[in-house]
Chains A and B, each alone.
Chain A
Amino acid sequence: MEKLAMGDYGTYVWSCFVLTFVIVILNEWRARRRHKAQYRDIEVRIKAVEERH
């Protein structure tokens, strides 16, 4: 527990680490979601055109 408290700086240190990991995870998640959405969008459009022909 003493180690986690980081002297009197626990709030500052942990908030920086948590914020960093949240931003990194959000970056990963958003990039994956955008890519999937883009791919599905193109897939739907191309398959709709193919079905019409």
Chain B
Amino acid sequence: MWTWFHKLASPPHFYNLSRLLIPWLAVPGYLLIAYGAYAGLFLAPPDYQQGDAFRIIYVHVPSAYLSMMAYMIMAVAGGIGLIWRMKLAHAVAASAAPIGASFTFLALATGSIWGRPMWGTWWEWGDPRLMSELILLFLYFGYMALRGAIDDTAKADKASAVLALVGAVNVPIIHFSVEWWSSLHQGPTLVREGGPAMDPGMLYPLLAMIFGFTLVFGAMLLRRIRTEVLHRERRTRWVKELVLAPGGSI
């Protein structure tokens, strides 16, 4: 197990393995998204209260879930990098940030667009779910700004990992905000006691979207980690051999 873990953490091994893995994540991911989007838009029955506006959940829920998952990956990878000084872990953390920030923006934007017809407002200052998600976006921005401000990669890795770990306290706050405080945002629909409170015709496309987005996120993350690894290892022998190999593989 440890041998496998150490082998995976070796940059050249990871670089080659991830290249093979990306299409296996991306292709089924996009197929699931295509099915989920079609079924969510055209086959799922309209909600009895929200009508067709509820279909926004098919993009809002996966975005919101990924915004938190990307942060947890960033924080855990940063922690692993700090504790075990694993170079690849810092590359994972640095690569997760821009993707996480874009999904957080999407969660906020699609939530806001849904809020206009449903709540009668684009935004509600003071709402715990909305504010904690907005703080998450600022944490991502802060993380990326901090990395950008420090030229020394090792110092940037350490400082940004500490910020990511401190900010991780916000993730459970986002998740439980609708239970702990009074919020305009509806409570949990999927992960709740007694199972999901949804008609199967609505539920399956949503699950397809969540799994599809997760796979696509995985492919995007691997792609960015490969770039980060290439940059960090640019002066090593294996990168030189890779580039000079006949038909050198990107």
Contacts and interface: CB of A to CB of B under 8 A. Distances in A.
Given A6-B55, A42-B230, A13 B41 contact: yes
Interface in B23-40: 37
Nearest to B56: A16
Contact of A42 (B41, B102, B220, B243): B243
Given A16-B110, A16-B113, A46-B244, A35 B52 contact: no
19 contacts: A6-B53, A7-B52, A9-B52, A16-B59, A16-B113, A17-B37, A17-B58, A19-B109, A23-B103, A23-B105, A26-B102, A27-B98, A27-B102, A32-B223, A34-B227, A35-B230, A38-B231, A42-B243, A46-B244
Interface string A5-49: 011111011011101100110111001101110110011011100
Interface string B85-111: 000000000000011001101100110
B243 A46 contact: yes
Contacts, number: 95
A31 B106 contact: no
Contact of B56 (A12, A36, A42): A12
B46 A23 contact: no
Nearest to B62: A20
Interface residues of B, number: 40
B105 A13 contact: no
Contact of A20 (B51, B59, B227, B243): B59
Interface of A: 3, 6-10, 12-13, 15-17, 19-20, 23-24, 26-28, 31-32, 34-36, 38-39, 42-43, 45-47, 50
Residue from B60, B102, B110 with most neighbouring chain A CB atoms (10 Å): B110
A37 B212 CA distance: 28
Contacts of B1: none
Contact of B117 (A12, A20, A28, A42): A12
Given A9-B55, A12-B116, 4 more contacts: A3-B42, A7-B52, A9-B117, A32-B223
Residue from A10, A32, A46, A47 with most neighbouring chain B CB atoms (10 Å): A46
B16 to A, nearest CB: 14
Contacts of A23: 102-103, 105-106
A15 B113 contact: yes
Contact of A39 (B109, B116, B250): B250
